[in-house]
Amino acid sequence: MSSNLTSELTVKMKKLFITLSLFTGINAFSQCLTDYYHQQAIKNNPQIATDAANFYNNLQPTSETKRATVYVIPVVFHVIHFNGSENISKATIEEQIRLLNLDFSLTNPNKSAIRSQFKNLAADCQIEFRLAKVDPSGNCTDGINRVYSSLTFNARDNVKAIAGARWDNKKYLNIWTVNSINSQGGQGTTLGYAYLPSAVNQGLSSMDGIVCRADCVGTLGGDPFSSVGRTLTHEIGHYLGLLHTFEGDCTGSGDYCGDTPPVTGTFANASCPSNGNSCTNDVPDLVDQWENYMDYSGGTCQAMFTPNQKTIMNNGFTTYTFRANLVSAANLKATGVELSNVAPKAFFSSTKKVACVGEAITFYDNSCKGLVSSRQWQFAGSNTLSSNKDTPTITYSKPGKYNVTLIANNSIGSNTLSVDNYIEILPSAANTKPELKEGFESPTFATTSNWKIISSGTPKYTVSGAQAYSGSSCLVAPITITEVATQKYQLVSPSIDMRPLKGLSPKISMMVGYVKKTSASSEKLRIFLSRGCSSEWTLLTLKSSSAMTYNSAVFTSNFVPADQSQWKLITNSLVGCENDSNVQFMIEVEAGTTGAGNPVYIDDINISMYNTSVSAIDKSIDLNVFPNPTNDHLTIQYQNTSGNTEVWLENIEGKKVAQISESNTQTGAISIDWTKDPNLANGIYFLRIKADNGYISKKVIFMN
């Protein structure tokens, strides 16, 4: 390439455009939507095109000598997740930061594969990325903001409007990671997108930042230079003002870089052809530079930015005040990426807060503001009671809740952070065995039950004395006319050992009282499963407002169930977790459109081999078992209204251990006196009664 191309920019203004028509329907193709969003922004505000033209036409050349300092950018990852795999780990994010710093400093190992005609054009951009250490409120952070929201699916700009999920763009590079991205009509898979600085400068500051698929962060299969690791390199290029190398097709330097040969077609270099030359009208005629991060080539091929691209990015820091402030010395101090000469403020995080006995937990010292010269950890109840390491890995041998303390020191002073019950350790095999039933009859359920109400925000689930399905109380998600849309109400079960139900078709079921307020009502009910003390939840079932309502033809406001006919059975198979010794379930209600929703009532949750609807025979059978606990003798009394009943005893593994009564056709009041076989061990058992209209069960205890 001639020397003038390495020192000058082609500044001919080209209309920015999108080539979505080039997508051929091959879903394996992956796209970036920056062009699309930029064109949409221009349609709404033509001044953006003028701003872009002024910027690219007035670029100031960058000195070929390196600056004395690099541009440092504070970064925050807003991890928008639904308790699934998109809730990526801190280690994954830190690995992505490492890869970005390699790519933008030309220290990436695969730069050695750059072809000879482009080796002298690979530029050290002198840009560095650091996770923020201080949040907008002045508190310590690890630069990772986890936000629970179903908007992670098919995401768009709407994730940027989630409360607390956007920090000041003049101080932080906001990166939103999501499960999937709406392709906006384009074909193929959208990996990410950003807004160009010209759009941000013309009123779109709330859109500034990058939306990226969570599975495109970090590494894939140990290969840090696959398309996964390079997605954010590409999108940050857009964030800093770079266009695709194929902008303008073969007609000229549509990306305003004279040192990137023209490229025709969005995916001309998808397979990185060794002698690919999609445009032959450039002078000199050069092969396509698929090594460039701004092409749609494979991530294993991408290895470079050029000097002209470095010039564009550098000019952004001096042209736009919001970018200038981002990398200013004052902002680096304010966001904690540069330390002040003060005592540190202690802060820590961990890979998990709930774990099984013996499971390793890694702790991170995220202290901020001042340099930490030494530290002291205290892990009450752990196998390592203290440590001075930066990231100690700790295990616990006994179930319980444990305090964690960090003392951070330097020559100026020290600071201590101690969090009570920070870690919860669960047994490898849960103590709770099915059948597990919850009818919310205790007035202190919310504080004394092993079930946990963990709803995000307020209001939360409450125990209601409204018309319950059975008994006198039920649980309610109090959705009202003032309820915030998508407000989540979450109830988590105790850990359960499901193995006693192996082969017995286990299920989780509950009665739900709900009716739509209007045809627009959009409440949802979800049931999640978490295995092995994990904090990752798997969706078992989703019930829409139409699936929950007891009558789709009825609409009313401020609904309260009047009787059992206004309740509906919700049930889901648990056959897939019959072998699990430690599982939890989460029952989540999500509010729909503000002002269009109704409360959702839940009662008689049952995790067993039976549906909770068997509780419908409780009143008709009127079961009474005494004494309970007992030494060996039971009196069983019930009303037989169905004409055919059977009574037996099961152990906690669900195996029948005694037949008490078989095919009893006598109706009316039934009384059975029964004595336990001496060979049957003392302990907990379940008395089962089968009637024509269902099952009923009663826990009984035999003891000396």
Catalytically annotated residues = 235
Distances (CA, A) of 100 to 78, 108, 335, 627: 17, 9, 19, 70
Beta bridge partners of 374: 409
The 3-state DSSP class for residue 90 equals: helix
**Contacts with 328 (C-beta within 8 Å, 6 or more apart), sequence order:** none
Distance in angstroms (rounded) separating the CA atoms of residues 692 and 431? 33
The 3-state DSSP class for residue 244 equals: coil
Beta bridge partners of 689: 647, 696
- Cβ count within 10 A of residue 222: 6
Give helix 90-104 / helix 227-239 axis angle, nearest 10°: 60
Q: From 611, 567, 407, select the one nearest 471 (Cα to Cα).
A: 567
Residue type (1 letter), 521 = S
Distance in angstroms (rounded) separating the CA atoms of residues 214 and 80? 9
Instruction: Please give the distance of CA 690 from its chain centroid, rounded to a whole number.
Output: 43
Contact in structure between 335 and 74 (CB atoms under 8 Å): yes
Distances (CA, A) of 540 to 139, 209, 213, 415, 455: 37, 33, 23, 44, 19
Token pair for 259? 């040192």
Q: From 604, 591, 612, select the one nearest 455 (Cα to Cα).
A: 591
Token pair for 627? 């004494």
Q: What is the DSSP string of 674-703?
A: EE--TTSPSEEEEEEEEETTEEEEEEEEE-
Contact in structure between 81 and 152 (CB atoms under 8 Å): yes
**Contacts with 178 (C-beta within 8 Å, 6 or more apart), sequence order:** 80, 86, 151, 152, 153, 155, 159, 211, 212, 213, 214
Contact in structure between 596 and 523 (CB atoms under 8 Å): no
What are φ and ψ of residue 39, in 5° steps?
Answer: -65, -40
In this structure, the strands spanning 173-178 and 144-148 are unpaired
As a residue count, the chain comes to: 704
Classify residue 397 by burial, with Cβ atoms within 10 Å: 0-12, 13-18, 19+: exposed
Instruction: Please give the distance of CA 324 from its chain centroid, rounded to a whole number.
Output: 32
- Cβ count within 10 A of residue 513: 29
Cα angle 203-148-491, degrees, rounded to a multiple of 5: 150
Q: Is the peptide bond preceding residue 435 cis, with omega within 30 degrees of 0?
A: yes
Q: From 99, 115, 122, 76, select the one nearest 226 (Cα to Cα).
A: 99
Q: From 444, 440, 477, select the one nearest 603 (Cα to Cα).
A: 440
